[in-house]
Amino acid sequence: MPAPEPGRAPGRRTARFGVVDPATGETVDEVPDQHPDELDAVVGRAHRAWRGWRADPAARATALRVAADAVETAGGSLARLLTREQGKPLAESYAEIDRTAARLRYFADLAPRTRRITDGRPVHSEIRWRSLGPVAAIVPWNFPLQLAAAKFAPALAAGNTMVLKPSPFTPLATRLLGSVLATALPEDVLTVVTGREPLGARLASHPGIRHVTFTGSVPTGRAVAGAAAASLARVTLELGGNDAAVLLDDVEVDRIADRLFWAAFRNCGQVCMAVKRVYAPARLHAEVVEALARRAKTVAVGPGLDPETRLGPVSNAPQLARVEQVTKRALADGARAAAGGHRLDGPGCFFAPTILTDVPPDSPVVTEEQFGPVLPVLPYRSLDEAVDAANGTGFGLGGSVWGADPDRAEAVAGRLECGTAWINHHAELSLAQPFAGVKNSGVGIAGGPWGFYGNLRPFVVHRPQEE
Ligand code: NAD
């Protein structure tokens, strides 16, 4: 067993770490750096709370609806804190809070369906559904609240309890959300824990956890799956993406340019299913680059709390360093920045919105997930070439096809190897849809009834039919 870090020995609960505002570089606040040994008590309490929580579906649904109201009431405080620690424009923080409340209401309305099996045998067979127990949720820093809600809303609605670990970059709004939810939920039904690694790894491997639901990068997802193997807990992984937008030769560039730009740059490009690569017909390539570069050069970049801001800072210093590194590498590989291409002066983590052209297809900004305000635009000569390039990645989260004829675009979209495809837009999701990536983009299904059943187990009863 590794030696405890200084100041993190069991019983010493005073260790804390600072959370930095990426717009200013200032520390917003500190949170407890919880020792992994604290998880035994936390998971134990979650297990005891499960007994009462699982027993009464109607009371659960009512509590979740009250929780949704409480989230909306606290919306202003949650949104400001979220913007300060994450960087996104305030309007996007409010949208995240709306989606958090919407998820609570959506899943509060779901109930598992008991089903009879009718297979001709003289047996009355019935499939019922039962909750699993304490669920561990581990989430990233790009959408701290709505991704947490995507996990706790279905898990709690299904009768489980939850231990939720936010990213150490964005724990503040999640902690506030935890206390808001505590006004509506019984004690220990949802517990937020904060701390640096190995807190997440220990949570994923804790023997009292029955389902580990994780959103984050592919390498961490692999580590989480490995950790959960210790207790053979169920694992759901929502991982990275490298979504392609394929533009067809009949596309009206001016008409789609705004939508395409925001599909790539919303939340400063830090969206698992942002457009991360654009494939344009060679004939239209220069026009597409020019339309996107115009927007990149004029979009209002600034602190998220400024009402004029449309694009905030990159969310944290390590991510800024990564965005800068993949961009420099692309430029060194022969790419040209039609807009941006560099970080911006000042104390915050600002990077100029960047459109790259002449990018070699094997440059990491194309083959990997850049997760920032940088977009490569690549030309193609034949549609087969474009579809092959779009699919030629280890990821498979989403993809989109853009053109004047939606039927033709939809036919091309059907050839994309991904979980969700869009025509003439990108990354719009319904609460009622299954959300599942293929290849390295994920394991298991979140969203809709599928995500709900992902938090339940079947319990089947067979009884001979009466004479
Ligand atoms: P990350 O993988 O670095 O971290 C995610 C979470 O895992 C954080 O809470 C982190 O503290 C924790 N963690 C780190 N090491 C761990 C370990 N060994 N065991 C357990 N937990 C550990 O991801 P990130 O940088 O916070 O987020 C960005 C990534 O998330 C991108 O790859 C993005 O595509 C992905 N993402 C995916 C989706 C989706 O739904 N598919 C949604 C949003 C973000």
pLDDT tens, residue by residue, 265-290: 999 999 999 999 999 999 999 999 99
Kindly report the CATH number assigned to the domain that includes residue 57. 3.40.605.10
**13: confidence class by pLDDT, cuts 50, 70, 90:** low
Among 179, 425, 185, 386, residue whose Cα is nearest residue 284: 386
- Tell me the two tokens of residue 245: 């937008």
**Residue 158 pLDDT greater than 80, yes or no:** yes
Pairwise CA distance, residues 241 & 244, whole Å: 9
| Rama region for 63: left / alpha / beta (φ>0; ψ in -120 to 50; rest) | alpha
**1: confidence class by pLDDT, cuts 50, 70, 90:** very low
**307: confidence class by pLDDT, cuts 50, 70, 90:** very high
**466: confidence class by pLDDT, cuts 50, 70, 90:** confident
User: Is the residue at 2 inside a domain?
Assistant: no
User: Is the residue at 447 inside a domain?
Assistant: yes
Contact between 366 and 277 under an 8 Å Cβ cutoff? The reply is: yes
Q: Point out the catalytic residue in the list 85, 238, 324, 369.
A: 238
Q: Is 302 in the pocket of ligand 1 (CB under 6 A)?
A: no
According to DSSP, the β-strands at 234-238 and 211-215 are parallel
Q: Is 139 in the pocket of ligand 1 (CB under 6 A)?
A: yes
pLDDT digits (tens, 9 = 90+) for 223-253: 999 999 999 999 999 999 999 999 999 999 9
Average pLDDT over residues 386-400: 98
Question: Do 226 and 322 reside in the same domain of the chain?
Answer: no
Kindly report the number of other CB atoms within 10 A of residue 181's CB atom. 27
Question: Do 144 and 256 reside in the same domain of the chain?
Answer: no
Question: Do 216 and 250 reside in the same domain of the chain?
Answer: no
Question: Do 360 and 258 reside in the same domain of the chain?
Answer: yes
Average pLDDT over residues 108-119: 96
Ligand 1, from 138, 220, 326: best to mutate by most atoms within 8 Å of Cβ?
220
Question: Do 153 and 170 reside in the same domain of the chain?
Answer: yes
What domain count does the chain have? Answer: 2
**Residue 2 pLDDT greater than 60, yes or no:** no
Contact between 464 and 124 under an 8 Å Cβ cutoff? The reply is: yes
428 is catalytic: no
Q: Is 36 in the pocket of ligand 1 (CB under 6 A)?
A: no
**Residue 7 pLDDT greater than 60, yes or no:** no
309 CA distance to ligand 1 centroid (A)? 26
User: Is the residue at 5 inside a domain?
Assistant: no
Question: Do 409 and 450 reside in the same domain of the chain?
Answer: no
141 CA distance to ligand 1 centroid (A)? 8
Average per-residue pLDDT for the chain = 96
CB half-sphere exposure, 10, CA atoms < 13 A: 7
Question: Do 248 and 233 reside in the same domain of the chain?
Answer: no
For position 465, what pLDDT does the model report?
87
Question: Do 294 and 234 reside in the same domain of the chain?
Answer: no
**Residues of the domain holding 25:** 16-239+441-461
Kindly report the CATH number assigned to the domain that includes residue 271. 3.40.309.10
pLDDT digits (tens, 9 = 90+) for 53-81: 999 999 999 999 999 999 999 999 999 99
Q: What are phi and psi of 165, to 5 degrees?
A: -115, 110
User: Is the residue at 9 inside a domain?
Assistant: no
User: Is the residue at 7 inside a domain?
Assistant: no
Question: Do 197 and 217 reside in the same domain of the chain?
Answer: yes
For position 4, what pLDDT does the model report?
40
For position 88, what pLDDT does the model report?
98
For position 14, what pLDDT does the model report?
66
Question: Do 331 and 447 reside in the same domain of the chain?
Answer: no
Q: Is 241 in the pocket of ligand 1 (CB under 6 A)?
A: yes
**9: confidence class by pLDDT, cuts 50, 70, 90:** very low
**Residue 11 pLDDT greater than 90, yes or no:** no
Reported pTM: 0.95
Residue written as token pair 């705004």: 258
Question: Do 379 and 391 reside in the same domain of the chain?
Answer: yes
Question: Do 287 and 162 reside in the same domain of the chain?
Answer: no
**Residue 160 pLDDT greater than 60, yes or no:** yes
**Residue 291 pLDDT greater than 70, yes or no:** yes
